[in-house]
Structure 1
Amino acid sequence: MNKWWLGASLVLGLFGQAHAMTLTSKDMSEGNKLTSQLVFNSFGCQGENISPQLTWTEVPAGTKAFAVTAYDPDAPTGSGWWHWAVYNLPVAQTSLAQGAGSHADALPKGAIALKNDFGTTDFGGACPPEGHGVHRYEFTVWALPSALDLPKDASPALLGFMLRAQALGSAKLTAVYNR
């Protein structure tokens, strides 16, 4: 009898396993160097500062909203560097076009962009200190059970805390850049 339950549990576990959320982009790929399109155009960097196209799939059941963040954990600040922080993207929104973060009004209705560490609500491209080595740029989409109620002047760090506390799932795409 115990063997039957064990076998049934294994079979049900295989068939009932949920697919992991995925994040893809036409503008970058996992582990590869970012192009000049996605590089900041200030602070000594000379890129185009265009936010990447992003598409996410395998959304967890119960998702009611999304957030998208771009973060450099290698920035020499003691707390990394937030390049982009957008939340309350509508549940029907499963992609962002290239340039959607280049101006806050280009985002879908209802989405809220927070000030990044460059001090703007727009996407801020890669711009590590010269000679500091390779930096990782983590683009993450977060599936949420409801829209978040944050002050509009909240920091991306507060958003990150709330996302980690409430997310139903997430998917990350990490690219690199150095100068």
Structure 2
Amino acid sequence: MSASADRDPMKLTSTAFEKNADIPVAHSADGDGSLPPLAINDIPTETVTLALTCFDPDVPRDRRADGNFDHWVVWNLAPTDANIPTEHHHSGVVGLNTFKEPGWVPCAPPVGDGPHRYYFTVYALDTTLDLPVNTTRAQLEQAIEGHVIEEAQLMGTFTRQRPCPSGSS
């Protein structure tokens, strides 16, 4: 799952925020709630499809026993989909977020809960996945075992400044 010696490792970046930096309010439930634009660079040439996930591991245990909130699950992205400007501009299949709905859920941690971390992970896969549309992040991660050529991660943080009715994290 690492880059070969003759090429750079795969990278996942965003024009909205730097690695380990704050995600802008615009991409939260307090803004327009849009997915931060993502770019995948140095995709291995042998990649058949890509998968992308985003989750927050900092949910208060009284809200979710496992402490995780799945914001986005996508698979079977074409390797040519290296730029994903919005949640709707890609070739992939969208799975279920924690609300058991397809699509992106914007950042919305509880007010005063401190910064939450949002891990965006891209997986370069050696196969096309045959999964139902109601697939969750846990099911996707199980399905890709043994098929990951390489992965890259981008983590951003978000701290809630004001309440919103969405209930997401």
- For the aligned pair, the TM-score class normalised by the smaller chain equals 0.7 to 0.9
Aligned length: 153
State the Cα distance separating 1:94 from its structure 2 match.
Answer: 1.0
1:83 is aligned with what amino acid?
Answer: H
Of 103, 110, 113, which aligns to 2:94? Answer: 113
CA shift, 1:135, in A, is: 0.9
From 16, 19, 24, the counterpart of 2:8: 19
Which residue identity lines up with residue 135 of structure 2 in the other structure?
A
* Equivalent residue for 2:131, pick from 147, 150, 154: 150
Q: Residue type matched to 1:93 in 2? A: D
In structure 2, what residue type is equivalent to 1:34?
I
1:70 is matched with which residue? 54
Write the distance in 2 (CA, Å) between the matches of 1:107 and 1:30.
22
Q: Which whole-Å CA distance do the structure 2 matches of 1:164 and 1:18 have between them?
A: 24
Pick from 80, 96, 99: which aligns with 1:92?
Answer: 80
Determine helix, strand or coil for the equivalent of 1:30.
coil
Cα shift at 1:118: 2.9
* Distance in 2 of aligned mates of 1:142 and 1:154: 16
**Equivalent in the alignment of 1:177:** 158
Shift of 1:36: 1.4
1:131 aligns with 2:112: yes
Alpha-carbon deviation of 1:61? 3.2
Task: Please give the per-residue CA displacement for 1:72-122, whole angstroms capped at 9, x wherever unaligned.
Answer: 11123215111011110112211101xx21xxxx3434x110121133322
Whole-angstrom CA distance in 2 between matches of 1:160 and 1:92:
22
Inter-CA distance 164–35: structure 2 relative to 1 (3 Å threshold): farther
The Cα of 1:17 is off from its aligned counterpart by: 4.8
- How far is 1:164 from its partner? 4.7
TM-score (norm 2): 0.82
Paired with 1:116 and 1:32, the residues of 2 have a C-alpha distance of: 23
Give the alignment partner of residue 33 of structure 1, picking from 22, 36, 42: 22
- 1:135-174: CA deviations, max 9, x gaps? 1001111101111111221222111233354211111110
Q: Per residue, is there more helix in 1 or in 2?
A: 1
Q: Share of identical aligned residues, percent?
A: 28
Deviation at 1:47, TM superposition (A): 2.4
Aligned to 1:168, the other structure's residue is in SS state strand
Aligned mates of 1:63, 1:164 — CA distance in 2: 15
The one-letter amino acid paired with 1:94 is A
Larger Rg: 1
Partner of 1:5: none
